[in-house]
Amino acid sequence: MIERRRTRQIHVGKVAVGGDAPVSVQSMTTTKTADVEGTLQQIYALAAAGCDIVRCTCNEIEAAEGLAQIVPRSPIPVIADIHHQYKMALAALEAGVQGLRLNPGNIRKPEHIKAVAAAAKERNVPIRIGVNGGSLDPALYEKHGGLTADAMVESAMQELAYFDEVGFDLVKISVKASNVPIMAEAYRKLSAATDHPLHIGLTEAGPLPGGLVKATAGIATLLLEGIGDTIRYSLTADPVEEAKAGRQLLESLGLRERKNVDLIACPSCGRAEIDVIDVANRAQDAFADREIPLQIAVMGCVVNGPGEAREADLGIAAGNKRGHLFVKGRNVAVVPENEMVEALVEWATFINENGTDAAIARADTARAEREANKDRSALLEEKGDDANHSTEKIVEIRRTAG
Ligand code: SF4
């Protein structure tokens, strides 16, 4: 269990952030906000993928007008992203958004900042102080001799002081950089300096798969330390990938309840009786749109598979052109190799509706176990310890080299 650092709680529309609220997932639309239908399509897809809060840019008056139509139809709270023009923040509030994000690096006039905070206070709308390493206030950049964790934290605290002056405290804060160690250090310092909820992210993480690795390195490190109340993956990809990644990260850390299948699969090796990558990918596709919160294993051989995946709710292991199904480590059925994925879907659906005990009870476990043992013995006899065919390879190497 991760012991989360206690922060104050605020609400972005219906979503609580901070305090004992579950860590929420955020993403941002990539459409023009003035394109109401296009933006809503993306928001629906994001919500279906597990996104709790969505952000849309509000960079022109047409975008603010779009927000006025988007907000009432959005299934999740909408935050307006504001850079440079404080008047766009006022227009977004007028449009009814449930949150604002202000960049202190490019809205710097105290009277502008305070005007937005006062208007947000009137409407009870929270603001994220969104410090970004790439657009840090030039004065702070110079003072700290470049982009440092201290410079980003100072930027956030300055903004907080302006908000204080108008008595506004519905605030969450982010200090994002594209460098993992700097970003992590900044959040640790910020977490020690304030109890406002923190929005965690690595900015400009980049395309998949590198972006996913970098962002996970930063976000997961902080979450494991108990830091973070809401997260966003900033990937150069379809935003649905951001939502999926956020959701999966939280589920894998035990910070959110599992909603979909957790597919585990062996990495395959010389013992594999099937193309594990292909079967695992087909299983992943088959379960993609099903809300089945089970751990399901795809294992390449019946020799080691059932044992290695004994903790899974359901699994299948290949052997002698057959698939051996097991539930919580107990063999329950044998199916032809080309029906492995369909069998997984059928058993997973049954377990989801009736539980694992009922699944074991309906099976002829003695027969399934006998068949599994038969195939296991046959494979061991055939391949023995030399599953990678090394003896044959050595003979071949000698033949070629000689
Ligand atoms: S389950 Fe079998 S095929 Fe998969 S990695 Fe383990 S030994 Fe190899």
- Run of H or E residues at 322: strand 322-327
Confidence band for 142, pLDDT divided at 50, 70 and 90 = very high
The rounded percent of the chain whose pLDDT value lies above 70 is 98
Give the residue-averaged pLDDT of 239-264: 95
pLDDT at 387: 60
pLDDT recorded at residue 282: 97
Instruction: Show the tokens assigned to 277.
Output: 């990558």
pTM above 0.85, yes or no: yes
* Measured distance CA(184)–CA(222) in Å, rounded: 7
Report how far residue 126's alpha carbon sits from residue 190's, in angstroms, rounded to the nearest whole number. Answer: 19
Closest Cα to atom 7 of ligand 1: 304
Work out the pLDDT band at 269, boundaries 50, 70, 90.
very high
Q: Which of 125, 133, 71, 122 is nearest to 99 (CA)?
A: 125
| pLDDT for the residue numbered 95 | 98
Question: Ligand 1 centroid to 369 CA: how many Å?
Answer: 19
Q: How far is the CA of 379 from the centre of ligand 1 (A)?
A: 12
Mean local confidence (pLDDT), 250-266: 94
CB of 309 shorter than 6 A to ligand 1 = no
- Residue 368 CB–ligand 1 contact under 6 Å: no
pLDDT of 103 higher than 70: yes
Distances (CA, A) of 364 to 315, 332, 341, 360: 16, 6, 20, 8
Rounded to the nearest whole angstrom, what is the distance from the C-alpha of residue 304 to the centroid of ligand 1? 6
Q: How far apart are CA 144 and CA 136, in angstroms?
A: 11
Pocket of ligand 1 contains residue 180 by CB under 6 Å: no
- Residues 291-297, mean pLDDT to the nearest whole number: 95
Q: What is the pLDDT of residue 394?
A: 78
Q: Atom 8 in ligand 1: which residue has the minimum CA distance?
A: 269
Residue-averaged pLDDT of the chain: 95
Please check whether residue 252 is in contact with residue 264, taking contact to mean a CB–CB distance below 8 angstroms: no
In this structure, what are the phi and psi dihedrals at residue 280, rounded to the nearest 5 degrees? -65, -40
| Per-residue pLDDT tens digits for 377-387 | 988 887 665 56
**Whole-number pLDDT of residue 384:** 62
Proportion of the chain above pLDDT 90, given as a percent: 89
Determine the longest span between alpha carbons in the chain, in angstroms. 86
What separation in angstroms does the CA of 341 have from each of 14, 120, 266, 279?
39, 52, 15, 7
If pLDDT is split at 50, 70 and 90, which confidence band does 198 have? Answer: very high
End-to-end CA distance of the chain: 59
pLDDT of residue 43: 98
- What is the pLDDT at residue 386? 58
Give pLDDT tens digits for 344-381: 999 999 999 999 999 999 999 999 999 999 999 988 88
| Rounded distance from Cα 241 to ligand 1 centre (Å) | 29
5-51 confidence digits (pLDDT tens): 999 999 999 999 999 999 999 999 999 999 999 999 999 999 999 99
C-alpha 312 – ligand 1 centre gap (Å): 15
Averaged pLDDT, 89-105: 97
The pLDDT score that the predictor gives to residue 371 is 95
pLDDT of residue 271: 87
Atom of ligand 1 nearest to the CA of 317: 1
Question: Looking at ligand 1, which atom is closest to the CA of residue 302?
Answer: 2
Q: How confident is the model at residue 62 (pLDDT cuts 50, 70, 90)?
A: very high
CA distance 112 to 100: 14
Lowest mean pLDDT among 161-165, 295-299, 395-399: 395-399
pLDDT value, residue 128: 98
Q: 300 CB under 6 A from ligand 1? A: yes
Cβ neighbourhood burial of 331 (10 Å; 0-12, 13-18, 19+): buried
**3-state secondary structure (DSSP) of residue 158:** helix
Q: Residue ranges of the alpha helices (H) in 174-238?
A: 180-193, 210-224
